[in-house]
Amino acid sequence: MRIGAHVDATNPLDEAALRKADAVQFFLADPQGWKAPQPRADAAQLRGSEVDVYIHAPYVINLATTNNRIRIPSRKLLLSHAGAAAEVGAKGLIVHGGHVNAGDDIATGFDNWRKAFAQVAASGGHGVPVFVENTAGGDNACARRFDNLARLWDAVGEYGVGFCLDTCHAHAGGEDLLDIVDRVKAITGRIDLIHANGSKDAFDSGRDRHDNLANGTIDPDLVVEVVRTAGAPVIVETPGGVDGQATDIAYLRDRVGR
Ligand SMILES: [Zn+2]
């Protein structure tokens, strides 16, 4: 069981060592911005490291939207992050499920997802596994509720897309963590990464505020059970810096076993 943390991008391997992490996830550019990633001086080190590397794509990316001025740059930005993620030997590039605007037909959103992957597949692929992550909020999200996730997978499944299950997002998004691994796998056939997070907010609140595993509103035994049954690597995206995350990693290792 590989367990790691989302860390600052400056010295990710040092951050991994401080947390005794087997894996790290970080951003390659400002998560709220549209800038393409810059080449990293530590790319060869990251590629050769025993520590598994995952890259989180910027939050601004929305492959579903009907707004051309967001959707087209989103495709370009995802592709540039995919190239940079491949440079650092990433095992996956995580991107949120996106949404359409109020009043739009969400079927268009799923079709926009399909087109995004079809276009890249036709020109050689992303060059790194892309994992779609479930999200917590919004009424028009493609990957908050699993009825929509199933429709999204009908659109993109054939392109070999991976899935990242975030426990905070599922809980806050209104999907019960009990038996969630089976329910996800019935839809996607796979779970490639777990984001093991507590939640500061209530079930189905639609709010995305992560908490440490022993705190918050999620029974930590449910998160442990998700990690145990998913059989996928784990990243904690929890607060509290080195201490908070090292505690969460140790908590999972103690209870899940290695
Ligand atoms: Zn997450």
> What is the average pLDDT across 199-203?
96
Does residue 24 surpass a pLDDT of 60?
yes
Please state, rounded to an integer, the average pLDDT across all residues of the chain: 97
CA–CA dist 234, 150 (Å, integer): 23
Q: pLDDT tens-digit profile of 91-104?
A: 999 999 999 999 99
44 CA distance to ligand 1 middle (Å): 26
CA–CA dist 19, 21 (Å, integer): 5
CA–CA dist 98, 241 (Å, integer): 28
SS3 for 24? strand
Confidence class of residue 251 from pLDDT cuts 50, 70 and 90? very high
Does residue 85 surpass a pLDDT of 70?
yes
179 CA distance to ligand 1 middle (Å): 19
The number of helices, as runs of H, and strands, as runs of E, in the chain is 9, 10
Beta-strand pair 210-211/198-199: antiparallel
Q: pLDDT tens-digit profile of 105-154?
A: 999 999 999 999 999 999 999 999 999 999 999 889 999 999 999 999 99
102 CA distance to ligand 1 middle (Å): 24
23 CA distance to ligand 1 middle (Å): 15
CA–CA dist 153, 15 (Å, integer): 34
27 CA distance to ligand 1 middle (Å): 12
46 CA distance to ligand 1 middle (Å): 21
237 CA distance to ligand 1 middle (Å): 6
CA–CA dist 54, 134 (Å, integer): 16
84 CA distance to ligand 1 middle (Å): 20
197 CA distance to ligand 1 middle (Å): 8
> What is the average pLDDT across 42-47?
98
195 CA distance to ligand 1 middle (Å): 5
Beta bridge partners of 96: 133
183 CA distance to ligand 1 middle (Å): 18
- Looking at residue 159, what DSSP letter applies? G
3 CA distance to ligand 1 middle (Å): 14
97 CA distance to ligand 1 middle (Å): 11
> Is residue 179 within 8 Å of residue 222, measured between CB atoms?
no
